[in-house]
Copies of this chain bind each other. A is one copy, B any other.
Amino acid sequence: MTDSVVVREVGMRDGLQSIGSLMSTDDKKEWIERSVAAGLREMEVCSFVPEKYLPQFKDAAEVASYAGGRAGLVGVALVPNLRGARRALESGIDKIVCITSATESFSRANLRRSKADSLAEINEIVALRDQVAASGRRVLIQVGISVCFGCPFEGSVDDDAVCSAAQASAAAGADEIGLADTAGYGEPQQVGRIFRRLASELPHVPLAAHFHDTRGLGLANVLAALQAGVRSFDASLAGLGGCPNSPGATGNVATEDLVFMLEAMGFDTGIDLEQLLDVRRFLSAALPDVQMAGHIAAVGLPKGFIRQ
């Protein structure tokens, strides 16, 4: 396997939203600069939620504008609703992530609305994207589907529920679809099975995977998704993160461990691992009260490790 794989850094959004410490706008900008220098090509940098819910993102417009204008980087913002999408599009961001869920219970807990209502709102956001496109600016929409592999409220999730949410997202006009293991319930058989099915049902829609490492299966699930053809993975530097509505959920797979696995396997991520570990040291210094996870930073690269 010598394909390129996109590693999407989501620590600045998914990570920061789950920790107590606020990060300054300057530190966020420096994190972006250092990441681009290390070779990262896509970063989810904020969530356009009301400040009263997540004060971490009160500077969302400024950070999104900074990332969206940065050469060599696809800047991404999460939007919970149409109002957030308007703000995101005004900021000059390159890509927005809209959310729906594979289960009703999670949709109501996370977004305070039904699955059907979340899809209706995604249709409105797509219409807004198309208005912006008519004025000459192309902004991509990823629909992220939460709890695809298990739900903290409902337990196991039927493959059909995931695939019908993906079908609806594609019908709404998603440019790409991300399946999220929000609470770390997924296992490799299931991950491979669902991604293979979707690749067959939606051959023209790029698929992405977002795995939390809650139960230690994050990289095994990445392997299963890779084998099913997925070439875009979310990850969070130092495993920063979690999900406020998923009790016990720890962070995403650690970016540095994911990049190590991919590069060791012969995939091209475009990322310099030594430089990425420098970015992690910056992150650790910027968030001194936050526990950093991940293996590679603790033990180092293998002797003689070079990209395959």
Contacts and interface: CB of A to CB of B under 8 A. Distances in A.
Interface of A: 1, 150-156, 183-185, 187-190, 213-217, 219-220, 222-224, 248-250, 254, 257, 260-261, 264-266, 294-296, 298-300, 302-305
B304 A260 contact: no
Q: Is the interface of A mostly helix, strand, loop or mixed?
A: loop
B223 A299 contact: no
Given A215-B296, A248-B299, 16 more contacts: A150-B302, A150-B303, A155-B302, A155-B304, A156-B304, A183-B302, A184-B302, A187-B265, A190-B264, A215-B260, A216-B219, A217-B219, A217-B261, A217-B264, A220-B223, A249-B299
A261 B303 contact: no
A171 to B, nearest CB: 30
Copies of this chain in its oligomeric complex: 2
A250 B294 CA distance: 13
A236 to B, nearest CB: 14
A167 to B, nearest CB: 25
A183 B299 CA distance: 10
Closest 9 CB pairs of A and B: A155-B304, A216-B295, A187-B264, A248-B299, A219-B220, A216-B257, A155-B303, A220-B220, A185-B302
Contacts of A151: 303
Given A219-B217, A222-B220, A224-B223, A184 B299 contact: yes
A150 B298 CA distance: 18
A261 B219 contact: no
Contacts of A1: 189
A220 B153 CA distance: 27
Contacts of A155: 302-305
Contact of A215 (B154, B184, B295): B295
A154 B152 CA distance: 46
Contacts of A153: 303
Nearest to A227: B227
Given A223-B223, A303-B152, A213 B295 contact: yes
B299 A188 contact: no
B223 A188 contact: yes
Contacts of A183: 302
Nearest to A293: B216
A184 B190 CA distance: 26
Given A261-B187, A265-B188, A265-B189, A300 B248 contact: yes
Nearest to A184: B299
A257 B154 CA distance: 22
Nearest to A299: B248
